[in-house]
Structure 1
Amino acid sequence: MLKNNFNQFHKQFSENLPRSLERTINLLNEIGNPQNEIKNIIHIAGTNGKGSILSYIKSCLTMNNLKVNAFTSPHLVQINERILINDKIIEDELLNKTIDRLFQYSKNMNIAFFEFITGCALYLFNQNKADWNLFEVGMGGQFDATNTLPQKDLAIIAPISYDHEDFLGDDIIEITKEKMGITNNETYTVVGKQPKNITDFILKNFLYNKEKRFVYGLDWTMTKKKELFYYEDNDASIRINNPFMIGEHQKMNAALSIASLRFLERSNKINFSKNIIEKGISKTKWHGRLEKINCDNNLSELWIDSCHNPSGTKAIACEMKKMNSKKQKKMNLIFSLKKGKKIRDFITPFEGIFDEIKYICINDNHYSFNEIKKNTNGTNINIREVREFDKTLILKNNHPSRILICGSMQLVGKAISIF
């Protein structure tokens, strides 16, 4: 069912519902409220980097011989990727069984797919106990289905910026309030690097208890010494080294992950050695994040990244510019973009970096080429339309090229599937 009929199954759920926890709570009531039995919870909110942070923390926990369950979203290729039981992607049979069980209750409910699959994860994590349970917020925080968890051992606030404005609005303070909705004054909370106005707002309005907060710039930081990056707090300096997670933004994600583990340790919730943390960070992999994949063309380098908002684009544009500092390869961009994203804000950071930019409308949830063209008029960005995405689009290059595919999880997932 999941591999062949996922799109059809997804259509059975409602879309554009009012933001509320009530629907998820109703489903959880029907299945015995498994969320109340899950212990040792880390909950991650923010705009960018949530999945990477979860992956870093998961790697360090497993390196410390601990069992880890994890719930993340969205998926790249198949839905199973969203639910990890004991650090392994859930098998089709178990996921299908769980979906069938919960669908008996949800089929007569007006419920969103994400709310349903969150219910599945909570049910499974209660059935399959782990030492730690990691949850990535889907969107926002306060009204996200994952926020039905009654008690978190740690909340992590990744960098906050603009995304999902059609749901969360375009007031950065209101967006911050929504993200901070996963915490309360009794929640141990780690805050990543933010613009000063956001950090000030968080400290003034949310994190009154100094003993239960660990904030970038106040309690921990990241430094760079001779091209090497280090996490630092008052008691430790830990080198950040990972050959798989490329980009300075990933170093900051790693630093926030280390801060989270250090704060858990300070709170007497876990014990870690510096060596275990360094090893865990160094071995972390997270697919679809500025990842180079084999494309069967010796002349071309193929890179994929799931960036889909302006802050994500800026980070990736910076890295692509560094890669081609010697202008040794032709730079090509292939992207798609879901409706609701700010087209011009997304594409502008790439201006002047790419020799050729192509757009493909991957499905009906994405902008048409005409909408993309209309919203980039008046810029120096020339975009061509591609109607089909397949291997030939990459393999036909007969000159040294560096190709980036980004903008849409579905497009990145398709690239992974093809190659």
Structure 2
Amino acid sequence: MTQGSDAILARMMSLHPKIIDLTLDRVWRLLAALDHPERQMPPVIHAAGTNGKGSTLAMLRAGYEGAGKTVHAYTSPHLARFHERIRVAGKLIDEDALSAVLDECWQRNGGESITYFEITTCAAYLAFSRSAADVALIETGLGGRLDATNVFDTPALTVITPISLDHQQYLGETLAEIAGEKAGILKRGVPCVVGPQPDEAMQVIEARAARLGAPLLAHGQHWQVWEERGRLVFQDENGLLDLPLPNLPGAHQIENAGAALAALRHLALGPEACEAAVTRADWPARMQRLTEGPLPALVPQAELWLDGGHNPAAGAALARHLGGLPKRPTHLICGMLNTKDIAGYLRPLADHADRLIALSIPGEANTLPAGETARVAASVGMVSQVADSVEDALQRIASDTPEARILICGSLYLAGDVLRKQGG
């Protein structure tokens, strides 16, 4: 009898001593043992980038579904439950199906060394190969060139969202080095939609695309997107689109929407798909408003938000969004991993926050201690305090600033903890 997915996933953590070990050898070995499910999938759109790839894929999914198409989607990390990573024909994979493909991968792997992400990626491809769909949307886990998802010879399209500094210990210390890893998803002759990039990153992408004969559809060259009079305006060689603003909040989502629209237009999906992409996308913990459940109940007069961004570019995007909102006392509840550029993330937010309350992320071995987060916050000019839990922080804010704007932020792992508390 197949064990539950949680038990199998726990066993899979023991198959390799490292969580991250970038190479494709182990993935190719297991995919061969599974009779190459990646070759039996529907057309693939493969996305890489530092920020925005999840939101862009969420808009692509909404666009395809708005056009009546069926979509597989693979994203990471999950927030509350592993099942969120694998969406089969439009629906989150159910427990029985997940347990079955995980167990099959475990058996076929035969105890060989393989990372958790590698074996679970193979499980996703196995699930996708056994169910019909019009497209499979695949998000890289880390980087691109050696990422476990990078096994498709001829995807229908690739997408590179904005590149910035993150995961330098794995991808390189400069934007050019990181761009080289992300551009590893480019394939010979396969078009690539490119979001806004620093010049240093764009030069690397353009050079690799030229070597591979991969046509680029680049922001600023082949398409433009902007906000005008409360609407989103998109322009490419096929003309103008006048659409509602994205339902995902934040100025940065306009650029993500632009990449999704460029992809949908290139793939000849119609106006229904383009409108659905910006109006129907769902992507939790990206400036997500929390209005119901146990945590909002602790601050009934406040405006409560959740965001999982965790690098300097994400901090800058959040700051832009907060700066555009109506004035209101703003308090951050922040927990971060010890591998991140904490000061780089917090510095742009300093002008928009009246106070930061620091947390250690519950159950996370790599959490930055709350006291250290508070110290860094103070060093960039924030009033900072420490709390034992999200609930403790919320109650403190409710007692002294009941009508505050509260943003829980700093980590997808903290966001996942919050969503589990909310019953997500």
Query: Normalised by the size of structure 2, how large is the TM-score?
Result: 0.90
Q: In structure 1, what residue type is equivalent to 2:289?
A: K
Contact 1:242 1:284 in 2 (8 A): no
2:94 aligned with 1:91, yes or no? yes
Q: How does 1:350-361 map to 2 (within 5 A)?
A: 350-361=349-360
| Residue in 1 that maps onto 2:282 | 285
Offset of residue 84 of structure 1: 0.3
**Whole-angstrom distance in 1 between the partners of 2:20 and 2:150:** 17
Offset of residue 205 of structure 1: 3.6
Check 1:274–1:79 CA distance in 2 against 1; reply closer, same or farther (3 A cut): same
Long gaps (5+) in structure 2: none
* Aligned counterpart for 2:45 among listed residues 23, 34, 42: 42
Check 1:162–1:330 CA distance in 2 against 1; reply closer, same or farther (3 A cut): same
Check 1:293–1:378 CA distance in 2 against 1; reply closer, same or farther (3 A cut): closer
Q: In structure 2, what residue type is equivalent to 1:153?
A: A
**Whole-angstrom distance in 2 between the partners of 1:36 and 1:3:** 25
Contact 2:41 2:129 in 1 (8 A): yes
* Aligned counterpart for 1:301 among listed residues 303, 310, 323: 303
**Whole-angstrom distance in 2 between the partners of 1:61 and 1:201:** 30
**Whole-angstrom distance in 2 between the partners of 1:120 and 1:210:** 32
Contact 2:246 2:253 in 1 (8 A): no
Offset of residue 330 of structure 1: 2.3
| Residue in 2 that maps onto 1:372 | 373
Q: In structure 2, what residue type is equivalent to 1:229?
A: L
Q: In structure 2, what residue type is equivalent to 1:284?
A: A
SS in 2 for 1:147: coil
SS in 1 for 2:154: coil
| Residue in 1 that maps onto 2:209 | 206
Q: Cα RMSD between the aligned structures?
A: 2.1
Identical-pair percentage: 28
Check 1:116–1:4 CA distance in 2 against 1; reply closer, same or farther (3 A cut): closer
2:382 aligned with 1:385, yes or no? no
| Residue in 2 that maps onto 1:311 | 313
CA deviations on 1:346-373 (whole Å, 9 max, x unpaired) are 1111112212211111121211234435
Contact 1:240 1:254 in 2 (8 A): no
CA deviations on 1:332-359 (whole Å, 9 max, x unpaired) are 1111111211111111111122122111
CA deviations on 1:79-98 (whole Å, 9 max, x unpaired) are 00000011111111110111
Q: How does 1:12-51 map to 2 (within 5 A)?
A: 12-14=14-16, 15-51=18-54
Q: In structure 2, what residue type is equivalent to 1:76?
A: L
Equivalent residue pairs, number: 409
* Aligned counterpart for 1:323 among listed residues 316, 322, 325: 325
Check 1:395–1:106 CA distance in 2 against 1; reply closer, same or farther (3 A cut): farther
**Whole-angstrom distance in 1 between the partners of 2:210 and 2:251:** 28
Contact 2:357 2:374 in 1 (8 A): no
**Whole-angstrom distance in 2 between the partners of 1:242 and 1:106:** 46
Q: How does 1:16-415 map to 2 (within 5 A)?
A: 16-106=19-109, 108-207=111-210, 212-242=215-245, 244-265=247-268, 272-294=269-291, 295-296=296-297, 297-324=299-326, 326=327, 329-362=328-361, 363-373=364-374, 375=376, 378-390=379-391, 393-395=393-395, 397-398=398-399, 399-415=402-418
Q: In structure 1, what residue type is equivalent to 2:275?
A: E
Check 1:135–1:65 CA distance in 2 against 1; reply closer, same or farther (3 A cut): same
Long gaps (5+) in structure 1: 266-271
CA deviations on 1:48-91 (whole Å, 9 max, x unpaired) are 11111111111111111111101001111000000001111111
Contact 1:240 1:251 in 2 (8 A): no
SS in 1 for 2:196: coil
Q: In structure 2, what residue type is equivalent to 1:289?
A: R
Check 1:202–1:287 CA distance in 2 against 1; reply closer, same or farther (3 A cut): same
CA deviations on 1:133-192 (whole Å, 9 max, x unpaired) are 110011100000000222211000111111111111211111111001011331111111
Contact 1:238 1:278 in 2 (8 A): no
Contact 1:68 1:131 in 2 (8 A): yes
SS in 2 for 1:206: helix
